[in-house]
Structure 1
Amino acid sequence: MKFTQFLKTKGAIAAIIMGIFYALAMLGIFLPGYTAIPGNIDKLPIAVVNDDAGEYGAKVADQLQENLPFKEINTDLTNKQALKDLEKNDLALVVHIPETFSADMQAGKTSSSIDFTMNEAGATVVSSSMSSIVTQINNQISAQFSQQTAQGVLMNLHVPEKQAAELAEKIETAYVGNIVTINDIPDGMHHNMLPMFLTMAGYTAAMIGAMQLISAFKENRGRASKTRLFIYVQLAALVIAVVSSLVAAAITYLVDGPSGDLFFSLLGQQILNYMVCFNFTAILIFLVGEGGMILNLPILLMQTIANGATITREMMYLPYEWMSHISPMYYSVQAYFANLYGSISPSPYIWSMVAIGAAAMLINIAIVTFLHKPVPVEELETRTETESIKNAAEVTA
């Protein structure tokens, strides 16, 4: 056989097609998706809360609204409500001007400050971007108030040396920005990425498991009813979910060392994550066979952007945002953030996962019921006996 003939075989042609397909899929999904960083930072919602009735507070609030690089700046919330929204990651930043701000500035108190509050238990790009933006804002405000204080000093040209030193110090400490972070994540990238890694471990294992178990489902058609085989597939998936989740939890505690109180909740979520992802990925495999695996991989790649670990929904382009609403990975990642590092309940995200898993299972039941033709048990048994007799006869001959 010549090399050109080998290249024309089905296996070689399939490998060539897959090489081209996944190059297009990966680059076509990842590159456009990540162009949202930092391009879509301005889509993040923030709140500016001005509790100061004085001149300085109003001036700073107006300047923030004019200069901050965000399209959605909410000014109608109380500080308490804004912080609640921040906890749920409905806001990316809360800027709070205290009620004593103007009075403190006029009195030259060094305690005068504006609070910039960020939530670390969320998309990594958000917290890093907010830190950079807040630093720039603080520098601008500090320079502005120092300049205003300096103008007041220059009006007193003939002052004693001691008084001049005090005024110089007043210039330097006229304004100090107060950066506040809630739900701090321990140092180390492995902590930030743990929600995504746990989710992807379960998703990838479930996707491969779906291919293998559905293959077993098809191979054993006729040895049992398709209803019984479907139940066996689900039970086998559950066993795998428990075993693999125990391994995942063990590695998590070995490397990241989360609180022991979280063990059973993390284990339970990882089991749920596997089962939901199993049924989610099984839809295409039940529908079109092993070819469904080819389609499942691009969907997995798309969810690595749409899961909210790196960028928020507000920053995503429309196809990724749509995917996030039906993606089990999105809700799993958000539940892990809330459970591991947040101060809100992960229940809404858990129930969203349950809803997606239930819908996926119903779709799979419908596919098996209406598209998979029943095979009588006797038919397979008769065929097997015939083949055995035929094989025995051939051996004897």
Structure 2
Amino acid sequence: MKFTQFLKTKGAIASIFMGIFYAVAMLGIFLPGYTAIPGNIDKLPIAIVNDDAGEYGTMIADQLKENLPFEEVKTDLTNKRALEQLEENEITLVVHIPKTFSADMENGEVSSSIDFTVNEAGATVVSSSMTSIITQINNQLSAQFSQQTAQGVLMNFNVPEEQAADMAKMIETSYVGNVVTINDIPDGMHNNMLPMFLTMAGYVGAMIAAMQLVASFNESRGKASKTRLFVYVQLTALIIAVLAGLASMGIAYLVNEPSGELFLSLFGQQVLNYMVAFNFTAMFIFLVGEGGMILNIPVLLVQTIANGATITRDMMYGPYEWVSYISPMYYSVQAYFANMYSSISPAPFVWGMIAVGLGAMLINILLVAFVHKKVPLEASLVEDTKDVINNTEITV
């Protein structure tokens, strides 16, 4: 066989096609998707809570609202409600000006501070971006507010200019930008990325299994009814889900060492994640056969952005945000964040996963029922069935 003949084989042609297709799909999906960082930082909602009745608090709140690069700044929330929304990742930063701030600043109280609270149990870009923005805010307040404003106030009380300048420097050092984090994630990128890695491990394994098990379904046609074969496929996927879930937990507990109390809930979610991903990816295989993998690959790549591990829905471009609402990966990642690192319940995300999985399974049932034509049972199976019936009659 000549090399040119080899290149014309089905395997060579498929490999060439997939190599080009995967490169185009990956770069064509990833690069536009990640241009949202930092371009869409302004889409993140924040809250400014001003409990200070003095002029300093109002001035700072107005200045922050005007100068911060955010389109949505909530100013009508109590601090308690703002922190609740932060916990649920409905907002990404809470700036709280305490009610004694003006009085403390005028008196040079060292304890005077503004609280900047961020939630670490969420998209990676959010916490890092907020930390950078908080640093800039504190630098600006220290440079523009503390010394100049304090000096002006002191001079109004007939304090000599030189003495006012010295006192202003003291007041400047009394300002503290207090950075508060809730739901701290243990140090190490492996901890921050664990929700995504667990989800990806289950999803990719389920996608490959969908291709192989649906192929077995098609090869076994005529040996059993479509209904029985479909049940066999689901049972096999469930067995794999349990085994793969145990393997996933083994690695996760060996490397990341999460709480032992979470084992059953994490294991249960990983099994659910696998089954939902299996039925979700099997839709394309049941629909168009092995060529469904060509559809599954870009769907997978889109979900790596739309799952919310790196950027939030608020920052996503429209197509990625739309996908997140039907994405098994989004609900899985958010459920893992809530379960492992947050104090909110993962139940809404788990139910979201279940809804996607049931919808995908229903579509698969319809595809098997109406797209896959009936195949007559093999003659040997028919004869075996007759023998069983006859033997039963004789026994009776």
Q: TM-score, normalising length from structure 1? A: 0.92
* One-letter code aligned to 1:268: G
Equivalents in 1 of 2:188, 2:41: separation in Å? Answer: 24
Task: Call closer, same or farther: CA 1:380–1:59 in 2, change over 3 Å.
Answer: farther
Partner of 1:185: 185
1:146 aligns with 2:108: no
Equivalents in 2 of 1:169, 1:43: separation in Å? Answer: 37
Equivalents in 2 of 1:168, 1:46: separation in Å? Answer: 31
Matches within 5 A, 1:47-58: 47-58=47-58
1:219 aligns with 2:223: no
Task: Call closer, same or farther: CA 1:380–1:173 in 2, change over 3 Å.
Answer: farther
1:344 aligns with 2:344: yes
Partner of 1:236: 236
Counterpart contact for 1:223–1:380, Cα < 8 Å: no
Deviation of 1:51 (Å): 1.0
| CA deviations over 1:329-380 (Å, ceiling 9, x no partner) | 0000000000000010000000000000000000000000111111122357
Counterpart contact for 1:50–1:97, Cα < 8 Å: yes
Unaligned runs of 5+ in 2: 384-396
Equivalents in 2 of 1:34, 1:189: separation in Å? Answer: 19
Q: CA RMSD in A?
A: 1.8
Partner of 1:134: 134
Partner of 1:394: none
Unaligned runs of 5+ in 1: 384-397
Deviation of 1:174 (Å): 3.4
Equivalents in 1 of 2:292, 2:217: separation in Å? Answer: 15
Partner of 2:297: 297
* One-letter code aligned to 2:186: P
Equivalents in 1 of 2:44, 2:169: separation in Å? Answer: 37
**Partner SS, residue 325 of structure 2:** helix
Equivalents in 1 of 2:32, 2:3: separation in Å? Answer: 38
What percentage of residue pairs aligned between the two structures are identical?
72
1:366 aligns with 2:370: no
Counterpart contact for 1:149–1:174, Cα < 8 Å: no
Task: Call closer, same or farther: CA 1:210–1:380 in 2, change over 3 Å.
Answer: farther
Deviation of 1:14 (Å): 2.3
Partner of 1:378: 378
Q: TM-score, normalising length from structure 2? A: 0.92
Counterpart contact for 2:124–2:309, Cα < 8 Å: yes
Partner of 2:389: none
Equivalents in 2 of 1:238, 1:79: separation in Å? Answer: 46
Counterpart contact for 1:142–1:174, Cα < 8 Å: no
Partner of 1:392: none
- State which drifts further: 50-59 or 348-357: 50-59
Equivalents in 2 of 1:235, 1:158: separation in Å? Answer: 83
- State which drifts further: 20-29 or 102-111: 102-111
**Partner SS, residue 69 of structure 2:** coil
Count of residues in correspondence between the two structures: 379
Deviation of 1:168 (Å): 6.2
Counterpart contact for 2:106–2:150, Cα < 8 Å: no
Counterpart contact for 1:146–1:174, Cα < 8 Å: no
Partner of 2:75: 75
Equivalents in 2 of 1:218, 1:334: separation in Å? Answer: 36
